[in-house]
Chain A
Amino acid sequence: MSVSPESTTRLRIENLVVQFPGLRAVDDVSLDVQPGEFFSLLGPSGCGKTTLLRTIAGFYRQDHGSIFFNEQAIDHIPAHKRDTGMVFQHYAIFPHLSVRQNVAYGLRTRPGTKPEKAERVREALELVDLEELAERKPRQLSGGQQQRVAVARAIVIQPRVLLMDEPLANLDAKLRVRLRTDLRRLQQRLGTTTIYVTHDQEEALSLSDRIAVMFDGRVHQVGAPEEIYSTPTHRKVAEFVGEGNYLPGSVREASSSHVAVHVAGGHTLRAAVPGSGLVATGAELVASFRLHHAEVLRSANGATDNTLSGTVLHRIYLGDIVRYLIDIGDGQTVMAEHYAGRNDVRVRHGDTLTLRVPQDAISLFGTDGALIGR
């Protein structure tokens, strides 16, 4: 399908507020989505991501702020004139229409001759590989096929912006991963600016050009997947995207290149964060690192700096990796993991393990959750 000028829309959102009775569902959100970008809204359920999407579609009216398509404010355009193709979570396929009629539905009120429209429908069906099933009724389709009908129906109108509300959430795990690739390829081919709502971090990381992570109606961080994962700017973002250990402690020493933190069990962790001037000695903070960034050692072997030692409380075997829950003293536990080798010596409950954490793998968060340094 040809890429029309409408399909490269820049979407700008300015200070958007959507208020429900007793709840500020979207709280002062500003975003700038580039033409052709695949942009995800990621966050836990109830964070306002779907509300934001539905406000863009025009199903809710914001209480404050504006939405722009290419510098044109669309705030007063009703939903049916916004030209946003939406893929609904439960697909919302019209049950009384065939697959072809479903896809053709959006063209009914649009200009064009019958043959032109038929051709566009055919192209859309081809794009999602559904030509064979065109005359079927929706109830004769599997979940994955229905999802593709929903996508074809949304793209056939050549929307200015494609809106997707957890379109893969109702599929089984294997199919979800496969359709993920299909979706991404299709979007790149069409070049349509896309807003994708999901609570699945893996989905967001693998699909998106950029991600906005939302909590309680607010956007906490916007960035490329790598950025979101490796340098979360807030503890909430870090906790939601990927797994890590969070150790409360106090600053022992802060220099222009390092911060040393006292954590439980008399351990000290040194983070490659220029701390002088940012944190004072004795200040409370949280030191954190990703599970896979720490190296698991059978014995300390004399290594004392940036190590955490303790006894194994649980061993969790996950096939490709093994995880250990380790008590490092003072009631503090950390989780550690390593790839399961074929001939690993079995670590048992009560054994002692040491974790070595590289200095540059440690992030420091203030007690308010904000990232320190960087």
Chain B
Amino acid sequence: MLTAWFARFRWRHFGFWNLITLASALLFFMLLVLPLIRLVIASFSPARGVPTTDFSVWATYAEFFTFRYYYGTLLNSLFVSSLATVFAVLIGFPLAYLITRVELPGKLFLRAAVVLTFVSPPFIGAYAWILLLGRNGLFTRTLETVGISLPSVYGWQGIVLVFTLQAFPFVFLLVSSGLRSIDQSLEDAAINLGQTRLGALRTVILPLMIPSISTGALLVFVTTFSDFGTPMIIGEGFRVLAALIYSEFINEFGGNPRVASTLSVILLTVTVGALLIQRAYAKRASFGQDAMKPLGVYRLARGGGILAGVFVFGGVLLALLPTLTIVVSSFLEARGPILLPRFSLEGYRLARRLPLALQNTMILVTIATLLCVFVGSLIGYVVSRQRNRLAAAIDTMSMIPFAVAGVVLGVSLSITFGGAPFFLAGTGTILVLSYFIRRLPYTVRSVSGMLQQLGEQQEEASVNLGVPPALTFLWVTVPQLTPALMSGALLTWATTAREFNSTVMLYVAQTRTLPVEVFTQVLQGNFGAASVVGTVLIMTTVVPIVVLFKVFGKDEEFLT
């Protein structure tokens, strides 16, 4: 049976693509499946110095669910992420609906601002809000002078605030693009049958948006659940699971990272579970439709228009505030955590470690991006064009990184490639690998989606005219993919430059990147220096996005 299958396989899909298919499968296995297997094994193995005889494989798991110190973090994480998810939907959906449907001034600004929030580095919001609402915060002190005292921004409230504002763009972007697939005639039909516009929203549009909303909610939940930068900065003793992984991993460095592995497996279980639940749910609610004539824009009655404007601009500005705070504060004179209201470029002059971090970010991110584009287009081709079990397996494997949190990936890669026989610990290579595998699925998705749209006939025509498969790919497929690949590369660049959660598990002093540098400065209380590095980081992520918008005429839809 196997030989028969192999004979068929070899013939039907030309030699070149067989090779690529095998290589792709091997790549995903090495960089993704193997590390995750190693992670699970590590969680069941005894730590160094523990005799194997009195060791139970379930020991760490039992400990986790016995001690509040451990399981409390899981409950805390579930609590803040769930709250953030609910709030993100409550802000993201109405914002997207209003900006899409209602006549409002400055729509381009609004969309650009949401995208800016989306690409700005994670935890930046956390210390920006401390600058504004912390004990010595700008707003706190201003309001104190008029006798108003604000509730504390530290602890879970602050985490939820930052998570919500950082992550609602997921919901916003997915709902915006989802709304484009709804035909105006559906709303017209509902109104014709006696619904008000609001009734049509509730009875027709909202149910059709469930796949988009739930996907957005999933992304909010998974990213916030795996983030530990924000909780560590603003949480002040409110401990979450991801942060615990980080500190355990740092403590266990050199030994067997048994506890960090166990915690990672638990975190992975939650995120994968969330993904599976959402997939099953969205599948039932999905109707796969296309709009001939997309939903139109209408004018709200005067009062409603003002209300909508206040909500939309208020929400977007609130989300944009941290980024603005960072940029402005980078030009202020700083004394430790205290910023003085005096203009100064001292911060930039004194940022000693900035050049190295910037250089590292540039080099590592560029290499990872090029790899992503090159390998991603080949794998995207395999996934959409090859019809065999191996290609199907690659398709499935390429979905895994969506559910694997950066912190988990960091631990897994470190266990697998850090020591013998690879010895990649502390190298730039291991960072590139983590960026590459994390971002690869996006390139694969966008390439395979594009190829599905293009169809197979042009490639067949080329092969029929005597051009072998590899050359056909180069001469016919690649030219047609180029625009998609270019915009995919810019997006990969922008999102990789801000990567933090896996970087912080894998970097050493020599390979520190911009996000790590911001984080270190914040933890050391050098808010001025953090703002300086943060501003540089914001620039590195904003420039490619601006290029995308200006040169490629893209809008925010491609981000989804």
**B-contacting residues of A (Cβ < 8 Å)?**
57-61, 76, 78-86, 88, 90-96, 105-106, 108-110, 150, 153-154, 157, 163
Contacts and interface: CB of A to CB of B under 8 A. Distances in A.
16 contacts: A57-B460, A60-B12, A61-B12, A79-B14, A79-B463, A80-B467, A80-B468, A85-B464, A90-B455, A92-B458, A93-B458, A95-B480, A108-B475, A109-B466, A109-B467, A163-B464
Interface of B: 8, 11-12, 14, 455, 457-458, 460-469, 471-472, 475-476, 479-480
Nearest to A84: B464
Given A61-B8, A61-B12, A96-B480, A109 B468 contact: yes
A58 B463 CA distance: 10
Contacts of A92: 457-458, 460-461
A153 B465 contact: yes
Given A61-B12, A95-B480, A110 B461 contact: no
Contacts of B472: 80
Contacts of B461: 86, 88, 92, 94, 150, 153
Contacts of A150: 461
Nearest to B476: A94
Would you call the interface of chain A mostly helix, strand, loop, or mixed? Answer: loop
A110 B467 CA distance: 9
Contact of A110 (B455, B466, B476, B479): B466
Contacts of B8: 61
B458 A94 contact: yes
Given A88-B457, A109-B471, A83 B12 contact: no
The 4 closest A-B pairs by CB, nearest first: A106-B465, A92-B457, A92-B461, A96-B479
A247 B12 CA distance: 48
Contacts of A109: 466-468, 471
Nearest to A108: B467
A268 B307 CA distance: 86
A81 B128 CA distance: 64
Contacts of A157: 465-466
Contacts of B476: 94
Nearest to A78: B14
A109 B466 CA distance: 7
B470 to A, nearest CB: 10
Nearest to A110: B466
Contacts of B464: 57, 79-80, 82, 84-86, 154, 163
Determine which residue in A60, A92, A150 has the highest number of CB atoms from chain B within 10 A of its CB, and name it: A92
Given A78-B14, A95-B480, A88 B466 contact: no
Determine which residue in B463, B467, B480 has the highest number of CB atoms from chain A within 10 A of its CB, and name it: B463
B414 to A, nearest CB: 44
A351 to B, nearest CB: 48
Contacts of A79: 14, 460, 463-464
Given A90-B455, A110-B466, 13 more contacts: A57-B460, A57-B464, A58-B463, A59-B463, A61-B8, A79-B460, A80-B467, A88-B457, A91-B457, A94-B462, A109-B466, A157-B466, A163-B464
A83 B467 CA distance: 10
B11 A61 contact: yes
Nearest to B468: A80
A81 B464 CA distance: 8
A194 to B, nearest CB: 15
Contacts of B455: 90
